[in-house]
């Protein structure tokens, strides 16, 4: 192995992309990782500085550029030095359907909920 090269599963673990090395292996075996647009299907693939990883994790796609190989799984600031995040910012949410904001006084009381339940039951018995 040349200087600066590292197995992709170890690199993902050291860069804190995955919580454990076995999860990193499963991620690469599942086909959710690409190196320079090439799908990876084995965890022994070597990554070098300059490689661009595209990783699909938890309904998100992350694009990371490898800056150097890791030597250990250190704290997050140390792990952040291993890569440059090229992930595009998330798209803004649609403004057409704003999320309703519930005021504390707008919730129905228990009595109002019971009256609504009784009304629905009575209505369904008539029909």
Q: Is the dihedral of CA 12, 14, 15, 16 positive or negative?
A: positive
Question: Are 34 and 54 in contact, with CB atoms under 8 Å apart?
Answer: yes
Residue 37 has pLDDT above 90, yes or no: yes
Largest CA distance in the chain: 81
Tell me if the pTM is above 0.75: no
Which CATH number is associated with domain 6-85? 3.10.290.10
In this prediction, residue 126 carries a pLDDT of 65
Average pLDDT across the chain, whole number? 87
Domain boundaries, the chain: 6-85
Question: Are 33 and 11 in contact, with CB atoms under 8 Å apart?
Answer: no
């Amino acid at each position: 192995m040349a200087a600066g090269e590292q197995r992709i599963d170890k690199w993902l673990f050291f860069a804190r992309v995955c919580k454990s090395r076995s999860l990193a292996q499963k991620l690469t075996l599942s086909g959710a990782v690409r190196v320079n647009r090439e799908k990876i299907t084995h965890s022994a693939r070597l990554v070098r500085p300059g490689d661009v990883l595209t990783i699909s994790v938890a309904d998100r796609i992350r694009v990371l550029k490898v800056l150097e190989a890791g030597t250990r799984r250190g704290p997050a600031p140390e792990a952040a030095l291993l890569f440059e995040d090229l992930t595009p910012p998330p798209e803004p949410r649609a403004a057409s359907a704003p999320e309703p904001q519930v005021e504390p006084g707008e919730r129905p009381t228990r009595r109002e909920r019971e009256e609504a339940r009784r009304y629905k039951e009575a209505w369904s018995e008539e029909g």
